[in-house]
Structure 1
Amino acid sequence: MVQNMLSSTRLKEFRSVRENAMDTLIERIKADAKANDGVVSVLKNARFAVFCILLAMCFGIEMDEETVEKMDQIMKTVLMVLDPRIDDYLPILSPFFSKQRKRALEVRNEQIQFIVPFIERRRRALKNPGSDLKATSFSYLDTLFDLKVEGQKSSPSHAELVTLCSEFLNGGTDTTATALEWGIAQLIANPDIQEKLYSEIKASVGDRKVDEKDVEKMPYLQAVVKELLRKHPPTYFSLTHAVTEPTTLAGYDIPTDVNVEIYLPGISDDSKLWSNPEKFDPDRFVSGREEADITGVTGIKMMPFGVGRRICPGLGMATVHVHLMLARMVQEFEWSAYQASEKIDFAGKLEFTVVMKNTLRAMIKPRI
């Protein structure tokens, strides 16, 4: 995945896919507002746009809106039935969870039955170039068809391909969409930041649509996104780690046979590392007053994607999506609270990612 799909070179190949998804996002937001007296669901629309991009990257074939929504629903159902249960940790209790296991197997079967035809459609498109006019020149699936697994002579089975594709889709959809929901919420709660961001976008590109190349010339946009990732990392915990030999950290003995869970907000909200950490303040990065490397190479003050050799492979893709989508959404619309008298509720809850406890509904006003 890292070498063949998420390299900067490969990501550039899907630039037109991202541009089309951005136009779709703006049109869906407009339609949503028109149907609901100016009120839009940020998470729902952002999630659809990101999912469209990842589907094109994964399968390399175009899908209509109904198919995209069906695929999305199946993926969400898979995540829901795989929520951790107590019998995962205490297998002796597993007989009491037979109904849940049966339901999980049913969902898995539905997932395989639905996705395999798209896998085979891509396989046919590769064998007969030009036969599918809506197929892209490259996809993640292309790197998997002839993959040789150590100890196996055959290529991955249908079930294995479905799992690998699901991993790619689920890993990049909710994380990006929830980041955008938190981002818009912060811009609504801080209208001065929203206006400053819009002014930078206007000064940088004028009346044309923001392009992902423009992002490099927008230091304030980059600061807003970095502050967003500091305040609202996608999950409460990094991926589970372990030590390779017994060690001691902060006075605690850590043996080799335990899981090490790293609590991310404990780092990014630490007053010893940050001035006024509870405040959403992109200027901390613009002014040079504070700095942080999100990859953790030069030191760890925040780690929304993890750090080290096991850092999230989708870091580059995710940051491209968040920067571009946030810029387009602010360029096209002025965002405000659904009910002007109420403050935004920044309470979160853990699903697959940390989402807003009360899903954000916002008012939009097209920019003139």
Structure 2
Amino acid sequence: MELSPESWRVLGAAAALGLLLWLLTHRALKAKSGSLRSPPAVPGWPVIGNLHQMKGTVPHILFTKWARKYGPLYTIKTGTTTLVVVTSSKLAAEVPLSPSPSLNYVKSDAFLISFDEHEKNTILDVSLGSQVMVTRFPSFSTRKLSWIFMFVTADKWMVAMADYGERHKLLKRYYLSSVLNPNSQKRFRCHRDSMIESMLHELHEQAAGAVVSIRSMLKREALGLAMKQAVGKNYDTLYIKEMGGNLPKTEIYDVLVADLLLVAGLADWRDFFPYLSWLPNKSVEKKVNDVYTRRNLVTSALINLYKKRQPDHDEEHLCYLRFLLEEAQELSEMQLLVLIWEALLESSDTTPVVVEWAMYELAKNQGCQERLYEEIKSVCGDEKVTEENLPHMPYLNAVFHETLRKHSPVPIMPLKYAHKDTEIGGYHIHKGSQIAINIYGAHRDEKEWEEPEVWKPERFLTGKHQLQDMHKTLAFGLGRRACSGSMQAMNISCTAVARMAQEFKWTLKEGQGDDDDTVLFTTHKLQPLEAYITPRSTL
């Protein structure tokens, strides 16, 4: 977490201004909790709390370090806010999710889905319950977002960021009805297959013992698929006059995905001290406005190109944008833009991260790679791996989930807001607290995971987890806010990994054996994977 020198000077002034407020509220909060047990608290300073300890750190790594000292649930203070940090899968999922009488469960080839008769939504079955996300769900149905998130999401006009309620149900219904329902996924199957074939063709062109880096390829192909699903066409370049002319696919990816993720990690001291929100913070505001403007220009260009094409009403042109233009005409231009951007963002980010980490681990662990190859041969013979094969490949499934466990694309779940007094794990949680579930730390809990720092797919083959269970880890969330796109992410990631392992032997380039460093506050691999690939055979 990085703050500018200007920000730290303002924090010093805020300390003096907020001291009186802290003194007045501290006694009242202590009396209100009565005899209920309060969570352990990380010692900090008056007014600023633990902000000084977080300077220059990576939050999910620091939170994991504190969990080893203070336990799986503890509190910190970030200015005026109490943050409850949960670093345990068992605390996040200690109460089984009781089947809802409104849910009818049906079996699919590769996963379990359910249909909510009240919401009319297809949703992923969740085999793990959650005290935070299920039992106490009414207490935590609100997201407390920073002004940066509020700004770029048009006041939470996204499925992922909307408070649970009518808006969330509506936006989720839009996306499920047009992109993620079974019929839509069948319709988009040709695009997924084309994506896989394009990647394998590119790898074969570089093969014969060459060193390859797959990151740029994965980003380009994932964004291409996202464009087809969102706006009906894949664009290699976009002409945007305000941005200097033609933008290549790599720059489009940066504008729609990478830049926004970096802005999301900015810290603005005004979020920690809301009573100082009237003061300017020009450096942060400029960064956010620049990224926001570029995002809007690119997304608007994609929307306008669709409108100019006036595509036919055949299946080839069915996409999320067409659905929204026809079925959600009440949306404002900005709301429409944000929904299309969300579809592009979420479909472009997860797959490149998971596939790159999986191939890194397989190249590093040759025994695991050979075991996967043998499973592929036993299931597919001389035929190429397809999505239909995935339910019959338990070791591939284990590779996928172990990669999510060790390298979860999202290290901390989006913060929840306790809008009434409640309880987690026997601790009293005050109204107004924010809840952070530290996925990174929970996946490294030695009480739950044997040798958590070791990538070991075999841990998911002990019979503890069902093959169809999409929630073996916390990577896709829990309960009603579980990731709706997890099935698509698994299909694409597993098929890509399986085909790469089926057609090539992967060996790490010298010096990459212990390269687990990540980018800033994310779990994205810092240095691109570089590996030697050797064709195994001609399919």
* Structure-1-length-normalised TM-score: 0.85
1:151 aligned partner: none
* Cα distance between partner residues in 1 of 2:251 and 2:415: 31
The superposition leaves residues 338-361 of structure 1 with CA deviations (integer Å, 9 ceiling, x where unpaired) of 11x65232233445x411233322
| CA deviation after TM superposition for structure 1 residue 32, in Å | 5.4
* Distance in 1 of aligned mates of 2:222 and 2:255: 16
Q: CA shift at 1:307, angstroms?
A: 0.2
SS in 1 for 2:506: strand
Alpha carbons 2:353, 2:409 under 8 Å: kept: yes
Deviations 1:227-264 (A, max 9, x none): 22222211211122234531232454312312100011
- Among 293, 297, 321, the residue aligned to 1:141: 321
Structure 1 residues 205 and 158, CA gap change in structure 2 (3 angstroms): same
Contact 1:295 1:307 in 2 (8 A): no
> Which range moves more in the overlay, 355-364 or 94-103?
94-103
After superposition, the C-alpha distances for 1:46-97 in whole angstroms (9 at most, x for unaligned) are 2222221111111112323675334213212333344322235145377553
Displacement after TM superposition at 1:183 (Å) = 0.7
Paired position in structure 1 for 2:203: 29
Structure 1's 344 and 42: CA in aligned 2 closer, same or farther, altered over 3 A? farther
Q: How many Å separate the matches in 2 of 1:338 and 1:13?
A: 39
Asked if structure 2 preserves the Cα contact closer than 8 Å seen for 1:188 and 1:335, the reply is yes
Cα distance between partner residues in 1 of 2:384 and 2:323? 33
Larger deviation: 99-108 or 38-47? 99-108
User: Percent identity over the alignment?
Assistant: 27
Q: Residues 324 and 336 of structure 2 are in contact (CA less than 8 Å); yes or no, is this contact kept in structure 1?
A: yes
* Match among 301, 307, 319 for residue 123 of structure 1: 307
Distance 2:263 2:216 in 1: 20
Partner-residue secondary structure (3-state), 2:533: strand
CA contact (8 A) 2:236 2:248 kept: yes
For residue 331 of structure 2, give the secondary structure of its aligned residue in structure 1: coil
Structural mapping, 1:83-122, within 5 Å: 83-87=265-269, 89=271, 90=273, 92=276, 95=279, 97-122=281-306
- Give the residue type in structure 1 aligned to 2:378: A
AA at the equivalent of 1:232: H
Unaligned residue ranges in structure 2 (runs of 5+):
1-174, 238-246
My pick for the range that moved more, 13-22 or 135-144, is: 135-144
Gaps of 5+ in 1: 149-153
> Does residue 365 of structure 1 match 2:531?
no
Question: Which one of the candidate residues 196, 203, 211 is aligned to 1:39?
Answer: 211
Seen in structure 2, the aligned counterparts of structure 1 residues 127 and 155 have a Cα distance that, compared at 3 Å, is farther
Alpha-carbon distance in structure 2 between the residues aligned to 1:114 and 1:323: 30
Of 239, 245, 261, 1:79 maps to: 261
TM-score for both structures, normalised by structure 2: 0.59
Could you tell which deviates more after superposition, 187-196 or 71-80?
A: 71-80
Aligned with residue 346 of structure 1, among 502, 512, 516: 516
User: Is the 2:178–2:319 contact (alpha carbons within 8 Å) kept by the matching residues of 1?
Assistant: no
CA contact (8 A) 1:56 1:139 kept: yes
What does 1:163-242 align with in structure 2 at a 5 Å threshold?
163-242=338-417
Q: Indicate the SS of the match to 2:362.
A: helix
Partner of residue 263 from structure 1, selected from 429, 434, 438: 438
* 1:22-46 CA-partner distances (Å, limit 9, x unpaired): 1111233345568xx8222232222
AA at the equivalent of 1:186: E
2:285 is aligned with what amino acid? R
Deviation at 1:321, TM superposition (A): 1.2
Q: 2: distance between equivalents of 1:313 and 1:306?
A: 10
Counterpart Cα distance in 1 of 2:206 and 2:432? 51
Work out which of the two has the higher radius of gyration on C-alpha atoms and give 1 or 2: 2
Question: Aligned match of 2:503 in 332, 335, 348?
Answer: 332
1:305 CA drift (Å):
0.8
Alignment of 1:303 with 2:477, yes or no, is: no
Query: For this pair of structures, how many residues does the alignment match?
Result: 350
Answer yes or no: is the 8 Å Cα contact 2:266–2:284 preserved in 1.
no
Asked if residue 314 in structure 1 is aligned to residue 488 in structure 2, the reply is no
Q: Give the partner amino acid of 1:321.
A: I
Cα shift at 1:114: 3.0
User: Which deviates more from structure 2 when the two are superposed, residues 257-266 or residues 157-166?
Assistant: 157-166
Counterpart amino acid of 2:269?
Answer: D
Q: Aligned to 1:68, which of 241, 249, 260?
A: 249
Q: In the alignment, is the contact (CA less than 8 A) between 2:263 and 2:287 conserved in 1?
A: yes
